[in-house]
Chains A and B, each alone.
Chain A
């Protein structure tokens, strides 16, 4: 939002003002996020069912391929295990696909009126959060359908969703800022996602990596910690939670710091390159 007063001298802004402005823009953020989510499905006859339908389809494919064809063995219900990984992954990858280009795509609005540019990538994340909400509910339904006992640990899904939201927001802020200067970022993200999917314990249990001595390496991936919290809520963690979670926290802190520096310097000049 445009504050009641502003004074600009030099291109670098003041971080405290920027944070205050961003905080004040939260109602704008949610309004845009809600619109963005519903507009996406507006012209489809099945509407928001697509938000739930696509991950379900992917779940069926993964479940069939990896339990029947590749035969990954799991002590817990495999379908639930895969879906617990797929829900945060789908959110992470769809949100970043649109968030990384958000500042460039938002040129229509942002060249006309000032609001903190960080709002734009956060809107993409917020919009994807609606899908995440639907899928978390779906996850509980799938678990119940598969006969997994619904325990108190399911409440962990709430902080788990918050964690993946935070991680995604951190990546979104940094990538969207970089994308203004380096238009390759969009393709780098696309390419990275294809690889990243396999480096994340989505369709295999964390234990599989442990048994190959790759647990340390896998933990560096911030999404591993996220998936493990989802698993902790639904099917159990194979005992690996602390180390990957530390890494996830470290990534979030580092990315937010980078974002703060980037937006402090470039918030008011992104427009020059749009």
Chain B
């Protein structure tokens, strides 16, 4: 698979094109504007390569995937793909809603270029993998989204395609199925299938893809090692939309540095669950201040406040003009896998006014155990008690 200088431009019509005026041959100037969804993409993938693509909504990653699938042609440049490309698997797989699961398997198999006999041969395996034997003869419009995705994934790997394109599919389905998908993808990768994964689920990308591409504003910003890509992605995500500034700001101080220190004492954007982290805020005071409240917050990707805390409300310390101070807050990151934002704030103790311009929150990524779900990782220790004998730790 090779892409050379690939770009895709969409033309947006300001007015709907009018059949009548076209027919009448009237030269009505249709106002239109064009937009490059993505430009200057060059990369090459060999058999068995796995590439992750991350980027915000509207960054151009879906357009890129569509071009790889051959569904849409590039406006400039060349897309070359050798081998059989599986359908783009995503939440709305290419299924006909009125057809049953069984019929859709056959239709998709045929689209992939398999003969009826070949589909027959692999049919049981597909149903087995999708875990829907009871519903295989039900029209897929009655399927739950989980069943839909399971069948979609099963069908896509059915043909043992040379290229597998995965779009956000891993966000759906329970953990057990996700793990099963990872295993399956690793299997087919080992057999030489090239895989491209597009996802917001950074954990999935990190697990699956040694190589990650960051797409931002229609351009490839980075293409390389996963860790670096994730860190860059977090930097690009800001500035976050201001969470409605609730209190006034004044310029009594200036934040010089906002660091997140991991267990090894260096600034980082990725941590592991349960790691001891320290928020460090270096501040220079521009006028004398008596009493400062230092607050921190941790918000999940979905915008759910996970934790917030502050120094006591009487405030700490007295500072004079030009004085520098370092505020630190250390805590244990006992949260499950995911992206979070860390926010900080400095407030006067005597009135509800922000002392300094609040630095923009930092995005972090926490990698944790697969089994954990929910807002916090409270670190359960499991054991199975055997009535016949003494307790045994599992």
B196 to chain A, nearest CB (A): 14
Complex partner residue of A1 from B10, B77, B111, CB under 8 angstroms? B111
Contact with A along B89-116 (1 / 0, CB 8 A): 1101111111100010011101111000
A183 to chain B, nearest CB (A): 7
A59 to chain B, nearest CB (A): 29
With A8-B73, A31-B106 known to touch, is A108 a contact of B92 (CB < 8 Å)? yes
Q: Which residues of B contact A181 (CB under 8 A)?
A: 17
**Cβ of B344 under 8 Å from chain A:** no
Interface residues of B in 345-368 (CB under 8 A from A): none
Complex partner residue of A114 from B69, B82, B99, CB under 8 angstroms? B69
With A8-B70, A272-B72 known to touch, is A28 a contact of B10 (CB < 8 Å)? no
Is A31 in contact with B71, judged by CB distance below 8 angstroms?
no
Is A113 in contact with B94, judged by CB distance below 8 angstroms?
yes
Q: Which residues of B contact A6 (CB under 8 A)?
A: 70, 79-81
Most A-side CB within 10 Å, residue of B18, B67, B70, B75: B70
Complex partner residue of B71 from A9, A108, A110, CB under 8 angstroms? A110
Is A39 in contact with B99, judged by CB distance below 8 angstroms?
yes
Contact-residue size bin, chain A (C-beta under 8 Å from the other chain): 35 or more
Complex partner residue of A111 from B71, B83, B96, B98, CB under 8 angstroms? B71
Q: Which residues of A contact B211 (CB under 8 A)?
A: none
Is A112 in contact with B71, judged by CB distance below 8 angstroms?
yes
A30 to chain B, nearest CB (A): 9
**Cβ of B335 under 8 Å from chain A:** no
A225 to chain B, nearest CB (A): 25
Is A2 in contact with B70, judged by CB distance below 8 angstroms?
yes
Complex partner residue of A9 from B74, B90, B110, CB under 8 angstroms? B74
The docked-state distance in angstroms from the alpha carbon of A110 to that of B71 is 7
Is B82 in contact with A4, judged by CB distance below 8 angstroms?
yes
The docked-state distance in angstroms from the alpha carbon of A1 to that of B88 is 14
Is A35 in contact with B73, judged by CB distance below 8 angstroms?
no
Most B-side CB within 10 Å, residue of A28, A112, A178, A182: A112
Q: Which residues of B contact A13 (CB under 8 A)?
A: 73
Contact with B along A171-200 (1 / 0, CB 8 A): 000000010011111001000000000000
Q: Which residue of A lies closest to B74 (CB)?
A: A8
A34 to chain B, nearest CB (A): 10
Q: Which residues of A contact B88 (CB under 8 A)?
A: 111-113
The docked-state distance in angstroms from the alpha carbon of A102 to that of B363 is 45
Most B-side CB within 10 Å, residue of A1, A113, A182: A113
B5 to chain A, nearest CB (A): 9
Known: A5-B83, A7-B79, A109-B94. 15 other contacts (CB 8 A): A5-B82, A6-B79, A9-B74, A9-B78, A10-B74, A31-B107, A39-B99, A108-B94, A108-B95, A110-B71, A111-B71, A112-B71, A114-B85, A184-B19, A271-B72
5 tightest A-B contacts by CB? A112-B94, A268-B73, A113-B87, A9-B78, A114-B70
Residues of A that sit less than 8 Å from B by CB: 1-2, 4-11, 13, 27-28, 31-32, 35, 39, 42, 108-115, 178, 181-185, 188, 268-269, 271-272
- 25 A-B residue pairs with CB within 8 Å: A4-B82, A6-B79, A8-B70, A8-B79, A10-B76, A13-B73, A32-B107, A35-B96, A39-B96, A39-B98, A108-B96, A109-B111, A111-B88, A111-B94, A112-B92, A112-B94, A113-B87, A114-B85, A182-B17, A182-B18, A183-B16, A188-B19, A268-B71, A269-B72, A271-B66
